[in-house]
Structure 1
Amino acid sequence: MNLLIVGATGTLGRQITRRALDEGYQVRCLVRSFKKAAFLREWGAELVVGNLCVPETLTPALEGIDAVIDAATTRATDSLNIKQVDWEGNVNLIQAAKAADVKRFIFFSILDAEKYPHVPLMEVKHCTELFLAESGLNYTILRPCGFLQGLIGQYAIPVLENQSVWVMGDTSPTAYMDTQDVAKFAIQALKVPETDNKTFPIVGSRAWGAYEIIRLCERLSGRDAKVTRMPLGLMRTVRRITRFFQWTWNISDRLAFAEVVSTGKPLTAPMDDVYTVFGLDPNETTTLEAYMQDYFSRILKKLKELDYEKSKGKSKQKNDKKRTYPRF
């Protein structure tokens, strides 16, 4: 099967690409820059330059493609906004895939997207779900709610570096999942007919609150966290300010999404039936505890090695000075 993966340079997209290649699929990646995507070519993927917002670049990218996995989304630092990429761009891709007679279309949305119409990214994801369902394509919609990889910069590194860990309001407990495990579901959906034209939550084993994660990081690192609470009102004020300037619209839209995780309502869903349909073993899914344990074990070992090398270097300098400047 020939796959086109969109969003392949992102945190999730690169894991999907790696998984697909490991399982023997012929993988083509739609990228905006060969330079930034060079690592994908080294892995064995074919690269084709294209842009979701330039429809004429999609037709050649889809030539000979059997299935599309769409993990594209805009970033806060992108020049294009959520409406342009996550709505107009994905609509362009769906229409081009339909015209190219693509057999399967896997789309990544967000858990509970329909419940937050006032949040731009959630509204756009939900509208895209509806558009895809009505397109006539054979689709599967996967709805994660958070990735374990994002917790390193948000919690682990600040704790290790004695920096502030920012917590907003009554942060919603979230069922984070490792992107490698999310990628398993994406590739498995291509093989399981029972996933055709259906929508599934793809979430971790349990929902974790911010303070639970902070306490775990403290225990694993042996260091105390500096927690700083950001009032929800302040975040809303910042969002209103960023709406005044076109170049900060993406930041404003992302701040709106932050309100979703500051409501206190858990972001999670039952997964027993999902694992059964996909034929995957839940015991093989990485837990948040195991992920953090592995991270801190590796980073603390590295820090000890660096301290040892530093101490060894100082000792050598001291000995050299003794030889250079002998006492009489």
Structure 2
Amino acid sequence: MNHRPSTVLIVGATGSIGRHAVGEALQRGYTVRALVRDHARAVRVLPDGVDLVIGDLTRPETLSTAVDGVDAIVFTHGSTTSERDVRDNDYAGVANILKTLAGRRTRIALMTAIGTTRPGVAYAQWKLRSERLIRASGNPYTIVRPGWFDYNQPDQRKIVMLQGDKRQSGSPADGVIARDQIARVLIDSLHIDAADHKTFELIADPGPEQEDLTNVFASLTPDSVESLDAAEDIVDLPTESEPEMFRDDLATITAGSLKAGD
């Protein structure tokens, strides 16, 4: 990572994780821009000092102002467990932002979910595809797969990062984490070099929260630049068998990355 970003775009800023991410980023001294669809709602729920930009993740033509001049993007948006909703919002939002960047280098933090690699789970596969686009984009990035929100006990604040996505019960038994801690990890990843090219599941264990997460990030295996998948994942989704929508997006984003690297 060449430098600490200064201006961060929060995608999904008025959501339950996004609001925490906005607060965390402001506290860390970032200039914060929020991509919002409803200006009146954003004014109600977000603090002063946030640059509100109106746009819609599903409409690429509305996104250029949002990404203009930012050097970091934090994706906290998420919809339902409907395959169509995740495809048309969660996945398409990532694809549309990356295509709008057109290869311009930007530090990225993406929130998906624990269990993203569960075989045969259609909505999870679209989250996985959004991760693949981030890896193919050529940007420095961190991909965070939180456990179940807010099932943690009050004394369960020790941040733990796992790899390989091995917990796949589809219940809080897979791991739990508080919303404010998810936001903290996303924002911390922007300025900790050891977080770059890391993908992990995020949970909390009993104990106090760490003041510095550098060593936790450093303990993780980095993703290979030769692969679309995370370092320790087991995934059976051959690119040639993937939906045309994904293959087209991948080709566009990869071409943008190669052009930027010329």
**Offset, 1:182:** 1.3
SS of alignment partner, residue 44 of structure 1: coil
Deviation of the 1:53 alpha carbon: 0.8
Determine the structure 1 residue equivalent to 2:184: 184
Output the CA distance in 2 between the equivalents of 1:171 and 1:36: 32
Quick check: 1:41–1:47 contact (8 Å CA) kept in 2?
Answer: no
1:73-112 aligned within 5 A: 73-75=78-80, 81-99=85-103, 101-112=104-115
In the alignment, the residues of structure 2 paired with residue 170 and residue 31 of structure 1 have an alpha-carbon distance, to the nearest angstrom, of 30
**Aligned equivalent of 2:56:** 51
Residue 17 of structure 1 is matched in structure 2 by 22
Report the counterpart of residue 193 of structure 2 in structure 1: 193
Measured after TM superposition, the shift of residue 2 of structure 1 is 0.3
Q: Equivalent of 2:123, from 121, 142, 151?
A: 121
User: Cα 1:76–1:120, aligned 2, differ >3 Å: closer, same or farther?
Assistant: closer
More strand by share: 2
Q: Any residues of structure 2 matched to 1:1-328 within 5 Å, and which?
A: 1-75=6-80, 81-99=85-103, 101-116=104-119, 118-148=120-150, 173-205=173-205, 276-278=215-217
Secondary structure of 1:61's match? helix
**In structure 2, what is the Cα distance between the partners aligned to 1:42 and 1:30?**
14
User: Cα distance, 1:93 vs. partner?
Assistant: 1.2
Aligned mates of 1:71, 1:38 — CA distance in 2: 18
Look up the SS of the partner of 1:137 in the other structure: coil
Distance 1:114 1:106 in 2: 19
Equivalent residues of 1:98, 1:135 under 8 A apart: no
CA distance, structure 1, for counterparts of residue 70 and residue 45 of structure 2: 18
| Paired residue total | 192
Q: C-alpha offsets along residues 175-227 of structure 1, whole Å, 9 cap, x if unaligned?
A: 21111111111111011111111212211116xxxxxxxxxxxxxxxxxxxxx
Larger radius of gyration: 1
One-letter amino acid of the counterpart of residue 82, structure 1: V
TM-score, normalized by length of structure 2?
A: 0.66
Q: How far off its partner does 1:171 sit?
A: 5.2
Structure with bigger RCO (C-alpha 8 Å, 6+ apart): 2
Where does the alignment leave 5 or more consecutive residues of structure 1 unmatched?
A: 152-168, 207-270, 280-328
Q: Which structure shows the bigger proportion of residues in helix conformation?
A: 1
Shift of 1:97: 3.0
Using the TM superposition, give the Cα deviation of residue 172 of structure 1 relative to its aligned residue in structure 2, in angstroms. Answer: 5.3
> How high is the sequence identity, in percent, across the aligned residues?
29
Which residue identity does 1:276 align to in structure 2? N
Write the distance in 2 (CA, Å) between the matches of 1:134 and 1:181.
Answer: 27
CA contact (8 A) 2:148 2:172 kept: no
Gaps of 5+ in 2: 1-5, 154-168, 219-262
The DSSP-based 3-state class of the residue aligned with 2:89 is helix
Aligned residue type for 1:8: A
Q: CA RMSD in A?
A: 2.7
